[in-house]
Amino acid sequence: MMRALDGRPMAVARTFKPRRRKMSRARSTAFEELLPIFGLDVEGPPTSAEEIFERSAPVALEIGSGAGEAAIASALAEPDVDLIAADVHTPGIARLLVDLHSHELTNLRVIHGDALEFVMRLPRPTFTEIRVWFPDPWPKPRQRQRRLVTEPIIGLLVPWIVGGGRLRMATDIDDYAEQMLAVCSEHPELDGGIVERPSDRPVTRFERKGVEAGRAVTDLVFVRKL
């Protein structure tokens, strides 16, 4: 059960459905060996980015990291930024862990689970950026409440963004882009909108699939007001 800022239970629709896919023995072994090294527990005592990364630096959160293409590219390109990448799907996390280990990255850590639960362990505010790249569109009308970018969830996340920090999103689903714009525009502490594709946003498998299918990609950036 998600909790509001005052600690009371808060009903938030589950935004994900874990997929049960088999992994190779080597990938399963890598997951079991590397998650204890690079993974962060969803539940636990209060902690901080400084404690996790053993330094003071800007911190970004990527929610729904998939197989980790964007997270790895960002961590390599931004060594002075610490990044926490979260996803619930085990095969993607396993691949991300393997790549993280092979690149010997010290500025990237992984959550295998619900990022919204994990942030409750951190002080407010923590993140200079929260990134949501191509979230599950939940296309059926009865599924829309499961979308990540909704009023309750954005309301929950904004207090963890530092003043002047950014909420960055991208989607190839037109009505989801409209929803992102509407939800974030209505939040009193956010200012922003649709932007040109940022040159520093890595291309992901989901983006390539969308473009190949003829769908246009929309990028949005909102800044938390000072």
CA–CA separation, 72 and 167 (whole Å): 19
Distances (CA, A) of 48 to 61, 63, 119, 192: 13, 18, 10, 28
- Tell which residue, 111, 113, 104, has the closest CA to residue 84: 111
Catalytic residue of the set 87, 99, 136, 174: 136
Task: Note if 41 is an active site residue.
Answer: no
Cβ pair 81, 61 in contact under 8 A: no
Q: Looking up tokens 């059960």, which residue turns up?
A: 1
| CA-closest candidate to residue 171, choices 182, 160, 180 | 180
> How many Å from the N-terminal Cα to the C-terminal Cα in the chain?
31
E strands, the chain, are 2-3, 9-10, 59-63, 82-87, 108-112, 127-133, 161-171, 190-195, 218-224
Lookup: tokens for 141: 């009308």
Q: Side by side, which strands form the sheet with 161-171?
A: 108-112, 82-87, 59-63, 127-133, 161-171, 218-224, 190-195
Residues that are catalytic: 136
